[in-house]
Amino acid sequence: MNQRIGSLVVASSVAFTLNYRLNPSAVRYNDSGSTTQWPSTRPNISKRGPKESSQKEDNDAKAPAESQDDEIPLFEDEDSAAWASFSLNVAIARKSISSVQWTTLGDKITDRFIPQWAYDLPDYVAKLQREMNMARGSLAEEIWQEAQDENIHPEIALNARVRVGKDLCSDEMAFVRRRKRYTRCALAKYLEIPEADVDPRDVPTIAVCGSGGGLRALVAGAASYLSAQEAGLFDCATYTAGVSGSCWLQTLYNSSLGGRRHDKVIEHLKKRIGIHIAYPPSFLDLCTRAPTNKFLLAGSVERLRGDPQADFGLVDVYGLLLSSRLMIPRDELSVDDRDLKLSNQRFYLSSGANPLPIYAAVRHEIPLEDEKVKGETMDAARAKAKQEAWFQWFEFTPYELFCEEFEAGIPSWSIGRHFQMGRSVNRDNRPPLPELRLPLLMGIWGSAFCATLAHYYKEVRPVIKGLAGFGGIDALLEEKNDDLIKLHPIDPGTIPNFARGLENRLPSTCPKSIFNDEYLELMDAGMSNNLPLYPLLRRDRNVDIVVCFDASADIRQENWLSVAEGYAKQRGVRGWPVGAGWPRAEDETKTELDAADAATAQQAAGKIAETREEQRGRSQNNVKDHIAKHETQESDLGYCNVWVGTTMDRKSDEKPSQSSRVELDADWKLLAPEAGITVVYFPFLRNPKVEDVDPDTSPFLSTWNFIYSPQEIDKVVALARANFEAGRDQTKRTVRAVYERKKAKRLEAEEKEKIQRWKRHLREHGDHFQ
């Protein structure tokens, strides 16, 4: 990771220098929306501006040369390779920044393009270096000593093992039982029926999920969840699930910052995201003074110092930048260390008073073409590698990190440890490392920039479409698409691989690479599906209703609901509504379902992904024709859309029966005995009740925008709440219908059982009245 620390500071400084000079109002806001000043609390450093350049030149010759001790990082001989590399790169960053001679550029140039804070960067990096050099009394030394203290980190005294099996972990099953008591009361209140009349067995299992989409998904999701909470729906949910920005939302909600209140989350965002996450002055200020420096840097120090092979990549840096904005309260002295660990969220779940959050990430399995079996030609190996590149889903909860494809998981408090043959292993006779901190996980969950080259090209294609020679370039890249979907320009984040050495215990369909790789490379689950549907479809979770708040970009073209169809069929999930999502041709549905018919999960996933790419390409080339084609089949979606699946089996040669939307007066579809999973879908659409806000055209609603003023947050909140209000009544009727269906099925089953018991009694004892 040579010079990545230096690259971070230099790159962010250059970017914000230009952004600040060209558009100062877009850099940061305070609560009133006006530009703010440099943080009031600063290190004790000398300040030098462009007006002092001549004096600086005169003093340069007189100034003594820096000692070697200032240039060489301080780390011990026994320090790990990862920590030594990190320490060295901080020193390189300091030296690189200090070597910049602003005075040679001229006063006029520096006045226009170089902000005042750029002159202070060397001093800030120097202070950061002193705190991170592991010398006695330094911040890094204090963090490392505490990392080995069982009183501060009780989990290091526990032995961790890999749990192998398809079922839910015992902690989650116990949680579901506790949560049922709360959802029973909440459902009675929501449906306005006497609590005594509600049998716990009739209460539907409801999951509320949010999409990816950066800060747009975070803000819009918070507003949607707030509306659902006020309506009484959110309290009926057993699970919440998120991708990317929705993962950040769940993190804030289940922390001291959100306090399990979405209105509090929104107020927190108004105070914190008016400044860009990578704005150097703000970030460096938090990293160089207590208590925020320890809060932000503890996880990185523990990982780099305790794991010799660990890498500190851009995803880790991104996680730190995110946390400096999202996880620091306005009163910076009130940071709470308990917010740093995912497993600590279980304390909010202990009584069952809150839904269980599920955070999603994916691993991109790309078989190597040179790994061919005996007797296999190179062409056959390439074809196999092309076919079997797919995404594996990993779900994080306060209880467990689990991969359904591996059918294995580990306790969440053991994330960050190394495992071998199902047991955690200690290095150099040291205690295990504390649990991997949330800032690093937040970077993984939201690392959309780790996309493949194919995804990057899809983003820029509309921009360069009008350039001369585009046709030839486009055709060339289209031919190479099979290669582009395997290349990640930016390395994903890593955690130690808990599947090492488990060849004989995990399913035979698992790729061989996971048994040998030291680390798992994980990234934003939006690469596979921007809605976290797959974890909610696990068989033992028995979810009856999925409420989706989709704030994705290009939701019509991507059609994330439809992506789940192939997964549901391949995994044997019964009841998923085929055809749910934005209107499309029936032949497209059948193609994806046929692609799911494969011998292995790898082949199925590869075929489904290939089919999706082909359909996406056709859609992007003929968007208008595509929409016009389907307008005759079904009208465009509204603010609230409901589909219900069927548990009836479909023959392999039978044309798939698409699930039509449940209209306002067609609740009878939800009451059918064979009805399956119900999906309630709220797309983030423009609403005439909220002016000047359009998710498709408003620049501040871009996925890559990291600055929201309080006024812009209010606009997003107003739009999300207006959209929920439009579907509030339909959602309530849908929940009631599913409840009534479950109740009717239970009563019918009880009546049948009663008759069976009577018949058995007659067979055994006869009729006493004869």
β-pairing, 545-550 vs 206-210, is: parallel
Domain boundary among 323, 355, 386: 323
| pLDDT, average across residues 153-171 | 96
Helix (H) or strand (E) holding 718: helix 710-765
Q: Are residues 31 and 120 in the same domain?
A: yes
Q: Which residues of 135-156 are buried (b: 16+ CB within 10 A; e: fewer)?
A: eeebbbbebbebbbeeeebebb
| pLDDT, average across residues 110-114 | 62
| pLDDT, average across residues 146-160 | 95
Let me know if residue 48 belongs to a domain. yes
Q: Are residues 701 and 554 in the same domain?
A: yes
| pLDDT, average across residues 53-76 | 43
- Structural domains in the chain (count): 2
Mean pLDDT comparison of 48-57, 406-415, 452-461, highest-scoring range: 406-415
CA 336 to CA 295: how far, in whole Å? 8
537 pLDDT band, cuts 50/70/90, is very high
Kindly tell me if the per-residue pLDDT of 462 is higher than 70: no
Let me know if residue 17 belongs to a domain. yes
Q: Are residues 238 and 280 in the same domain?
A: no
| pLDDT, average across residues 535-544 | 95
| pLDDT, average across residues 73-100 | 58
| pLDDT, average across residues 70-74 | 44
Query: Are residues 206 and 735 in contact, defined by beta-carbon separation less than 8 angstroms?
Result: yes
* pLDDT score of 273: 96
* pLDDT score of 496: 96
| pLDDT, average across residues 140-160 | 94
Kindly tell me if the per-residue pLDDT of 709 is higher than 90: yes
| pLDDT, average across residues 114-139 | 80
| pLDDT, average across residues 15-24 | 43
Kindly tell me if the per-residue pLDDT of 70 is higher than 50: no
Q: Are residues 191 and 51 in the same domain?
A: no
Phi, psi of 612, deg, nearest 5: -60, -40
* pLDDT score of 695: 93
Cα-Cα-Cα-Cα torsion 407, 520, 455, 511, nearest 10 degrees, comes to -50
* pLDDT score of 628: 41
Tens digits of residue pLDDT in 424-450: 998 777 779 999 999 999 999 999 888
Q: Are residues 196 and 294 in the same domain?
A: no
3-state helix, strand, coil in the chain (%, to 5): 50, 10, 40
Q: Are residues 581 and 722 in the same domain?
A: yes
* pLDDT score of 677: 95
Q: Are residues 92 and 13 in the same domain?
A: yes
* pLDDT score of 624: 44
Mean pLDDT comparison of 20-29, 95-104, 607-616, highest-scoring range: 95-104
CA 316 to CA 124: how far, in whole Å? 20
% of the chain surpassing 90 pLDDT = 51
Tens digits of residue pLDDT in 267-298: 999 999 999 998 888 999 999 999 999 999 99
* pLDDT score of 40: 38
Q: Which residue has the higher pLDDT, 562 or 389?
A: 562
Which residue from 668, 669, 662 is spatially nearest to 641, judged by alpha carbons?
662
CA 249 to CA 442: how far, in whole Å? 10
**Whole-prediction pTM:** 0.82
5 pLDDT band, cuts 50/70/90, is very low
| pLDDT, average across residues 727-753 | 94
* pLDDT score of 136: 86
Let me know if residue 51 belongs to a domain. yes
84 pLDDT band, cuts 50/70/90, is low
| pLDDT, average across residues 322-335 | 95
Let me know if residue 213 belongs to a domain. yes
Query: Are residues 637 and 582 in contact, defined by beta-carbon separation less than 8 angstroms?
Result: yes
Domain boundary among 295, 323, 351: 323
Q: Which residue has the higher pLDDT, 216 or 58?
A: 216
Catalogue the long-range contacts made by 279-282 (C-beta closer than 8 Å, 24 or more residues apart).
Answer: 279/12, 279/16, 279/27, 279/28, 280/9, 280/12, 280/13, 280/16, 280/117, 280/121, 281/38, 281/39, 281/117, 281/120, 282/28, 282/39, 282/324
Q: What is the average pLDDT score of the chain? A: 79
109 pLDDT band, cuts 50/70/90, is low
* pLDDT score of 634: 44
Tens digits of residue pLDDT in 362-375: 999 877 544 444 45
* pLDDT score of 171: 97
Q: Are residues 246 and 279 in the same domain?
A: no
Tens digits of residue pLDDT in 251-270: 999 999 999 999 999 999 99
| pLDDT, average across residues 297-302 | 94
96 pLDDT band, cuts 50/70/90, is low
Domain coverage including residue 178: 169-252+539-742
Let me know if residue 352 belongs to a domain. no
* pLDDT score of 442: 97
CA 441 to CA 585: how far, in whole Å? 39
Q: Which residue has the higher pLDDT, 746 or 46?
A: 746
The conformational region for residue 67 under phi > 0 = left, psi -120 to 50 = alpha, else beta, is: beta
Tens digits of residue pLDDT in 193-219: 999 999 999 999 999 999 999 999 999
Least confident stretch, 41-45, 520-524, 614-618, 719-723: 41-45
Q: Are residues 103 and 19 in the same domain?
A: yes
Task: Specify the residue for token string 């079904």.
Answer: 634
Q: Which residue has the higher pLDDT, 357 or 117?
A: 357
Q: Are residues 656 and 718 in the same domain?
A: yes
Least confident stretch, 503-512, 714-723, 739-748: 503-512
* pLDDT score of 484: 54
Kindly tell me if the per-residue pLDDT of 584 is higher than 80: no
10 Å CB burial of residue 37 (0-12, 13-18, 19+) is exposed
Q: Are residues 53 and 198 in the same domain?
A: no
Which DSSP string corresponds to 657-709? -------TT-THHHHSTTEEEEEEEEE----TTSTT--TTT-GGG-TT-----
Let me know if residue 762 belongs to a domain. no
Kindly tell me if the per-residue pLDDT of 66 is higher than 80: no
Residue 70 neighbours by CB under 8 Å, 6+ apart: none
300 pLDDT band, cuts 50/70/90, is very high
Let me know if residue 59 belongs to a domain. yes
Q: Are residues 105 and 224 in the same domain?
A: no
Kindly tell me if the per-residue pLDDT of 726 is higher than 50: yes
Let me know if residue 151 belongs to a domain. no
| pLDDT, average across residues 674-701 | 94
